A and B are shown apart, each in its own frame.
Chain A
Amino acid sequence: MIELLKIEIFKIFKRPRTYIAFAVIALIIILIQIALKFGGKEYVGLMMSGMGDSFEEIPTKIILNGYLVCFVILNLLLIHVPILVALVSGDAIAGEANMGTLRLLVSKPVSRIQLLVVKFIASVFYTMILLIWVAVLALFLSILLFGVNWLGVPRELQFDVMESDDVLWRYAFAFCFAAIGLICVAALAFMLSVFSDNSIGPIVATVCVIIVFTILTQMQIPFYDETIKPYLFTTHMLGWKGFFYVKAIDGVTVKGSIENVSSILKSAAILIGYTAAFLGIAFWYFNRKNILS
């Protein structure tokens, strides 16, 4: 099993297309960092407008630190990284069928379940490496470029403030949560990949699902708030933000606290449930599939 997994990972990282995602992420993050480095004052001004006079006196360089830059990047990026995850997961089975190598793999003395397990683990491995890449560039490079200070996270009409020594662990958990969300997307693309003999189909289908669900998640229509949004996995993928919403007692934030842990756990459970369902369907179908490609 380990040897098979090594093969799958080897295959993923030998393909030039795998590195497109890494290059795209690096480009976007660096562009955001450049923009904030040179136009950060305007951005912070826009962000703080409507927050009251007490924030206006704080110098921009205190607010605009590495932690805030990372939060801004994640806010923008974690909707789009799933699309890059789909590039590899959507290709996992369909790409083999397209190349004509699936019949060779399935005719080897390896069970179909074993084959799917190693292929999915390899997709998850790629997703994790991609997430670590995001973390390194978004968090550590931002800290290097902008330094650290307290983190202020804007939320509707309030501002959650965390001391600088109360931030890093939140990012650690936020990245772990993002991993659950991205694995869910990987499972969706993987499931669609099993149904197809051409990798373009599952990749495009996954991207379409993410776009449609994300639009529905972000629509401010009360009717959808209760009927559709709670059931969309894209709604729960935003759960990572919960680690930056802090408990406040008498207007003072409580250090080391999280406002709504149960909501985060519920979102994580729903994402895991979706992942299990996507994988269940993939395994059920692939085990019966006639390999005709």
Chain B
Amino acid sequence: MPAIIDVSELTKSFNEITAVDNLTFTVKEKGVYGFLGQNGAGKSTTIRMLLSLIRPTKGQIRIFDLDLSIHRKEILQRIGAIIEKPDLYKYLTAIENLNLFATMSGLKLKRKQLMDKLEKVGLAERADSKIKTYSQGMKQRLGIAVALVHDPDLIILDEPMNGLDPQGIADIRQLIHQLSKEQGKTVFISSHLLSEMEQVADSLLIIHRGKKIAEGKMNELLNPEQSRIEFETGSAKELELLLKPTEWANKVVSANGQKIIMQMKREEVPVFIRQMAEMKQDIFSIHKKNSLEDYFLSLTSH
């Protein structure tokens, strides 16, 4: 599958601070590519560089196999984006906003065509209302209509679920599914909502302090064959010491307080529990930590 986004050694420094540090990644055509990181990890800076809002200090961005620094206009013609909040002109109506951004994308749409686009996001009835009368969810839906008005091949969404109610989040999830699975678009999405990301993304890129710390297919990263299991015991440190001479030592991920986290195959779990009983070690509880949140926290919490 050809690469839609190809980023190599991308770096952005603001004076002394390096927001994005030597970032290299590839986004393949079609599918949903999740972009994760804590606040201040460099996600928004990266997305702004992809949209040429920020100039990189170093590195190269190729989108649709074209160099962004040279073919900016051709590339942006094929991208639709929502960057953080979908801020639009509050003193204009929905249809005026949509028409304005369609024109900026080089399109001349008739009222009927614009109404069709608004219909798709459920705003046709409020097409002639000013944006200042819209709720946050309606603004978000209009933001999506604006991002998709020129039928882009690549959709970049920076925190699209921020400030939305559960119904709004479900709508966005549904839309992402529709765009990627039914229309074959490539969606590059950053979000703090890990559970949502787990539901929509096929691939993941995780950055921490501007650096890439993980990249790959969701099912490979959250490998069920190698689950992280949390055992509650009397003293995790004590148990870790006891395990040192054994074959279990290299399976310990962390040991804090009463909790020891180990990475092991499913069938190894009962074997380990039996050995603990033989070693007279109390196991009070067992918890499988295999969600995206667990994985993300295990990578970024130290």
* Nearest-neighbor residue (CB-CB) of B130 within chain A: A14
Check if A228 is an interface residue, CB within 8 A of chain B.
no
Q: Which residue of chain B is the closest to A290 with respect to CB atoms?
A: B54
A 1-34 binary contact with B (CB < 8 Å = 1; else 0):
0011011001100111000000000000000000
Binds A, one of B28-36, B85-93, B225-233, B278-286: B85-93
Is A109 part of the binding interface, using a Cβ–Cβ cutoff of 8 Å?
yes
Question: Is B53 interfacial (CB-CB < 8 Å)?
Answer: yes
Q: B146 to chain A: which residues have CB within 8 Å?
A: 104
Among the stretches A37-45, A95-103, A156-164, A273-281, the one at the interface with B is A95-103
Contact with A along B79-101 (1 / 0, CB 8 A): 10101110111111000100011
Query: Separation in Å of the A15 CB from the closest CB of chain B?
Result: 6
Per-position contact with A for B168-199: 1 when CB-CB < 8 Å, else 0? 00000000000000000000000000000000
Checking B48, B89, B106 against A103 with a beta-carbon cut-off of 8 angstroms, the contacting residue is: B48
CB <8 Å contact, B87 and A101:
yes
Q: Check if B53 sits within 8 Å of A107, measured CB to CB.
A: yes
Determine, out of B58-66, B70-78, B240-248, B264-272, the stretch whose residues face the partner at the interface: B70-78
Report if A155 contacts B (CB, 8 A): no
Closest partner residue, chain B, to A287 (CB atom): B55
| A254: interface (CB < 8 Å) | no
Number of A residues, CB within 8 Å of B: 25
| Complex contacts, B73 vs chain A, CB 8 Å | 109-111
Q: Would you call A100 and B91 a contact (CB within 8 A)?
A: no
Inside 8 A of A110's CB, which chain B residues have their CB? 73, 104
Contact of A105 with B by CB under 8 A: yes
Residues of A within 8 A of B76 (CB): 107-109
At the interface, yes or no: B52 with Cβ under 8 Å from chain A?
A: yes
Contact between A104 and B87, CB atoms less than 8 A apart = yes
Min CB distance A176 to B, Å, is 32
B4 within 8 A of A: no
Q: Judging by beta carbons under 8 Å apart, are B88 and A107 in contact?
A: no
Q: How far is B49's CA from A292's CA once the two chains are assembled, in angstroms?
A: 11
Please tell me if B239 contacts chain A, counting CB pairs below 8 Å.
Answer: no
The 8 Å CB contact of B103, one of A7, A104, A291, A292, is A7
Q: Is the CB of A292 within 8 A of B101?
A: no
Q: Known contacts A107-B53, A111-B73; is A101 also within 8 Å of B105 by CB?
A: no
Q: Chain A residue with minimal CB distance to B74?
A: A109
From known contacts A3-B103, A4-B103, A104-B146, infer whether A14 and B92 are also in contact, taking CB-CB under 8 Å: yes
B255 located at the interface, meaning its Cβ lies under 8 Å from any Cβ of chain A in the complex: no
| Nearest CB in chain A: distance from B153 CB, A | 13
For B83, the closest partner residue in chain A by CB is: A103
B52 touches A109 (CB 8 A): no
Contact between B53 and A15, CB atoms less than 8 A apart: no
- Whether A292 lies near B87 (C-beta < 8 A) is no
Q: Are A100 and B87 in contact (CB under 8 A)?
A: yes
| Residue B236 at the chain A interface, CB threshold 8 Å | no
Residues of B within 8 A of A (CB): 14, 48, 51-55, 72-74, 76-77, 79, 81, 83-85, 87-92, 96, 100-101, 103-106, 108, 146
9 A-B Cβ contacts within 8 A?
A: A7-B100, A11-B89, A11-B100, A103-B53, A107-B51, A107-B81, A108-B101, A109-B105, A109-B106
